[in-house]
């Protein structure tokens, strides 16, 4: 958790700073980036915020979000210091092939990458937002309501609003200080969890209707027709694979989504000790112990049978 | 938030203590009662735990839960001091018509009742669990892992695990201390949210299939046949009315449940400024601004039309 001294001196040094979130940015990447940008600007530095991909619409409430741009060229011309947030290689941020006079990495993902002149990678941190909180304090900055809202959102997203196993006393204590500084827990939770479009809700219900449960495995699926009927797309399915986890007997929850071209994409989530990465590997995919995925051109029945079989085996 | 001195002296005085939760006990009532009992017993006092109704099964993980009994007579014969927790009248605990040598009330509900020799009713507290936490500390007791788990659960249930508007910096700080003392956020959240029976999940999906959305109002309903088909009962519908709230455009979410005899029971939940108690009153029911209910013998179509009409009116 110790902040590298060189990190502080780089951030106290000459800007501008290009703060880059990873591709397909999540709440931790976006909130951490906005918070660091606000803190550096309050200290008189110039910052740019880069996201290759558009921000998901449910983060539209985050203060400062309009500072994000996907245009890199003009920024690079200003010779900025690169700050990678919530990722640790230029490829993950979608900015490979550029040269920067200095590059900084602030991340909490486990990694073998060695990119960056200064690296602060702490995989014991629940969120990059926690690291940025420490950083802003160490830089002597004030936690403004804008910074507090962004960091509280970052932490909320990466801890499932204090439900995942990375929720520590420290996480709760930092969050308490962010509330003191102006973050509003109820407003943020409403934005994160209660702003679904009706069509997305209808897609969820359609998916839940397909549920099949066997041997501790729950599988739901979404066909191309279901997307068409509800006017939704793949990005609307985020977090869907969490729903079957509500069932106590389920150890593996799977969402199968029919691909535009051919075949299916599977998202696997497990509870407890079951390692879904190993199941995904059998299909040529991969991931983490509790969250993994794969793509396959097998038919629905074959995929499901294989998953149920994996469930039986994982029980032993 | 100031603890009455007399409360401390009664609890330091002679037992035994009869700690009573309210009827249909929730996580705050159960967790607070178990925590206070453990703390008093650690101080050498004898305690009894009373709940008229059985504990909901998803609280079966709470340490000490087997101390709860529904048999009152044997306890009363020991001439205990009554401690009402998370409620403020003997009626709410289902123990009316008994006399006690002393009665104590510890609660956070707003109330006009004046029962009790010593009352600590603080409606600014997010949960009775917060009050019991202060109390145990003031009594000089150690927060054991057992007490921590019970109080963290109490606070989780009453704040929607830190999502409702009563989630303050103080709530997060107390929760952090409970984690330090042995409460496990992830394990508790799993018990609260991921232990559904499959039949209950199927009932939820069946209910969500009935959704009708109009004028900011979402209505779902459950018929007697749906209960029969899934082998479920009314107690399985708890929290169902929260699901339609996920939809951003919804300001009023309603669950209609067909009654065994005749008619329907409605549970209304609102977001923001909409007052559903006023809508419930029109049907002879009542409740709070954001959570209310009523029973009616009207038919489904009439009820829904009236609710949509109320939605249109509340928009103005």
In the predicted model, residues of chain A with pLDDT beneath 70 are 1, 111-112, 316
Query: Is the Cβ pair A172, B175 closer than 8 Å?
Result: yes
Calpha distance A24→A87 (Å, rounded)? 11
Angle between helices B128-138 and B169-180 (to 10 degrees): 60
Chain B interface with A: residues with Cβ < 8 Å: 160-165, 167-170, 172-173, 175-177, 179-180, 185-186, 189-190, 193-198, 201, 205, 208-209, 211, 213, 244-249, 271
Pick the CATH number of B5-193 from 3.30.70.20, 3.40.50.1110, 3.90.1640.10, 3.40.50.1100: 3.90.1640.10
Residue A272 contacts residue B219 (beta carbons within 8 Å): no
pTM recorded for the entire structure: 0.91
Predicted confidence band at B111 (pLDDT cuts at 50, 70, 90)? low
Per-residue model confidence (pLDDT) at position B177: 98
ipTM of this complex: 0.90
* Cβ contacts of B234 within 8 Å, gap of 6 or more: B227, B257
Per-residue model confidence (pLDDT) at position B180: 98
Give the other-Cβ count within 10 Å of B220's Cβ: 23
Per-residue model confidence (pLDDT) at position A1: 62
Nearest by CB: B173 against A173, A195, A198? A173
Query: Is the Cβ pair B196, A167 closer than 8 Å?
Result: no
CATH 3.90.1640.10 range(s) for chain B read: 5-193
Per-residue model confidence (pLDDT) at position B125: 94
Q: Are strands B291-296 and B264-270 parallel, antiparallel or unpaired?
A: antiparallel
Per-residue model confidence (pLDDT) at position A43: 96
Tell me the per-residue pLDDT of B66-82, one tens digit each, with 9 for 90 and over: 999 999 999 999 999 99
With CA atoms as reference, the chain B residue closest to A218 would be B198
Contacts with A201 from chain B: Cβ below 8 Å: 211, 244, 246-247
Q: What are phi and psi of B44, to 5 degrees?
A: 85, 10
Contacts with B205 from chain A: Cβ below 8 Å: 205, 208-209, 211
The secondary structure of chain B in percent helix, strand, coil, rounded to multiples of 5, reads: 45, 20, 40
Burial class (CB within 10 angstroms; exposed 0-12, middle 13-18, buried 19+) of A260: exposed
Query: Is the Cβ pair A172, B170 closer than 8 Å?
Result: no
Burial class (CB within 10 angstroms; exposed 0-12, middle 13-18, buried 19+) of B271: middle
Task: Identify any residues that bridge with B214 across adjacent strands, giving them in sequence order.
Answer: B217
Full strand arrangement of the beta sheet holding A68-69 = A68-69, A47-50, A17-20, A81-85, A103-107, A118-121
Burial class (CB within 10 angstroms; exposed 0-12, middle 13-18, buried 19+) of B268: buried
Residue B38 contacts residue B150 (beta carbons within 8 Å): yes
Query: Is the Cβ pair B186, A164 closer than 8 Å?
Result: yes
Mean local confidence (pLDDT), B227-236: 94
Q: Does domain B198-315 have CATH number 3.40.50.720?
A: no
Predicted confidence band at B102 (pLDDT cuts at 50, 70, 90)? very high
Mean local confidence (pLDDT), B216-227: 97
Does pLDDT of B273 surpass 70? Answer: yes
User: How many percent of chain B have pLDDT more than 90?
Assistant: 85
């Amino acid at each position: 958790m110790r902040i590298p001294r060189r990190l502080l001196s780089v951030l106290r040094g000459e800007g501008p700073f290009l703060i880059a979130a990873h591709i397909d940015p999540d709440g931790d990447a976006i909130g951490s980036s906005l918070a660091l940008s606000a803190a550096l600007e309050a200290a008189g530095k110039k910052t740019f915020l880069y996201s290759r991909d558009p921000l998901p619409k449910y983060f539209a409430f985050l203060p400062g979000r309009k500072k994000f741009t996907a245009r890199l060229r003009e920024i690079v011309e200003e010779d900025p210091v690169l700050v990678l947030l919530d990722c640790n290689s230029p490829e993950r941020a979608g900015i490979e092939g550029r040269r920067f006079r200095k590059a900084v990495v602030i991340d909490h993902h486990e990694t073998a990458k060695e990119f960056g002149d200064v690296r602060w990678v702490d995989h014991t941190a629940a969120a990059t937002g926690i690291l940025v909180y420490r950083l802003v304090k160490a830089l002597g900055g004030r936690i403004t309501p804008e910074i507090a809202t962004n960091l509280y959102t970052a932490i909320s997203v990466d801890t499932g609003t204090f439900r995942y196993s990375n929720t520590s006393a420290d996480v709760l204590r930092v969050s308490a200080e962010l509330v003191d500084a102006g973050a509003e827990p109820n407003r943020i939770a409403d934005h994160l969890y209660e702003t679904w479009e009706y069509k997305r809700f209808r897609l969820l219900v359609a998916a839940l209707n397909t549920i099949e449960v066997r041997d501790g495995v729950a599988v739901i699926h979404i066909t191309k027709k279901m997307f068409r009927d509800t006017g939704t797309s793949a990005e609307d399915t985020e977090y869907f694979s969490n729903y079957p986890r509500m069932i106590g007997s389920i150890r593996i929850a799977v969402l199968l989504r029919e691909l535009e071209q051919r075949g299916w994409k599977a998202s696997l989530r497990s509870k407890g000790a079951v390692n879904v990465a190993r199941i995904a590997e059998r299909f040529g995919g991969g991931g983490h112990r509790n969250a993994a995925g794969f793509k396959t051109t097998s038919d629905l029945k074959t995929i499901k049978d294989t998953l149920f079989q994996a469930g039986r085996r994982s029980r032993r």
